[in-house]
Amino acid sequence: MAGVNSPRQGAYTALAYVTLIIISIFCLLPFVWMALASVDSNAQLFLKWPDSWTFDNYIRVFATENGTRWFANSLFTVLSATILVVIISGLGGYALSRSKAWWKQPFLYGILLIRVLPSTALLVPLYKILLTANNGMGSLVRPLAGENYRAIMQMVGFIDGYLGLIIVLATGQLPLALWIMKVFFDGVPKDYEEAAILDGATLVQRIHRVLIPLALPGLAAAGLFAFMSAWGDFLLPLILLSSPELQTLPIGLFRAFLRVNEIDYGLLAAIATIYLIPAVIAFSFARRYLVQTFSGGVKG
């Protein structure tokens, strides 16, 4: 019986591998085109080998375009939102895991609803709330800032300011991060904390020496998801930012695509490649923790 089924099983296995290879090639082709077009002096819409190799497209991103500012704005806002998400989700996930309050489950499903709702449906009320908060912040800053009012509002403003974008990005990623950390802490035995208490450790010492080292895989996973999602967000920066000096990398890519009559595929491919690099680096660093988190976390 095994001999009869073996050739058929081998054929199914071979078919599965061939299908996976075809799908992988199909998924990789856009990245291959992007990498080749970014170093092609005459990049076209279709995939082709470069006529001549050049790094002028990358030089133009930073020399003639505002690429350095775009990249710095994206990195600052996304990293700030990610750090905020990691801190709040770590503390909140621990509290939700250890709490036995009756409202815990309704609260968890309630915050998950924020993630389920499409962001476009929330744009109008969200913008109205941020606009009201921005007007209030402006009334506080104007008497103190004087001539520096605009520069300060670009930092602490809720509309056309870093602070508003950071808070909104963090808020959008927080529900999933809270769920990840809550589930992760559910798998962390309480014995570690009890042993630290018996040794006379204070709350700060328990957090610093016990909880944070144990929670690193979960924090890395939550931070990775937050970073990747916030880094790829296009709609919120487009709606909330209007000043050219505040534009992020996806907005810069969008503007570069629209402002010319003839599309410069080499420049767009170079910007897209630069846009891709931080996400790849973040995944490379967090991959080990990500696997550990979703393969069972900490075992006691």
| Better-predicted residue by pLDDT, 112 or 27 | 27
* Lowest mean per-residue pLDDT among 5-9, 165-169, 191-195: 5-9
**8-state DSSP, 191:** H
Cβ pair 86, 226 in contact under 8 A: yes
Cβ pair 213, 231 in contact under 8 A: no
Mean pLDDT of the chain: 85
Domain with CATH 1.10.3720.10 in the chain: 63-294
Give the Å distances, CA to CA, from 36 to 29, 49, 273.
11, 7, 10
121-135 pLDDT, tens digit per residue, is 888 899 999 999 999
209-245 pLDDT, tens digit per residue, is 888 888 888 888 899 989 999 998 998 999 999 888 8
Q: Residue 218: which of 86, 108, 109 has the closest Cα?
A: 86
Q: Would the pLDDT of 259 be above 70?
A: no
79-124 pLDDT, tens digit per residue, is 999 999 999 999 999 888 888 888 888 888 888 787 777 778 888 8
- Whether the pTM exceeds 0.75: the reply is yes
Cβ pair 41, 50 in contact under 8 A: yes
Choose which CATH entry (3.40.50.360, 3.20.20.140, 1.10.3720.10, 3.40.50.720) describes domain 63-294. Answer: 1.10.3720.10
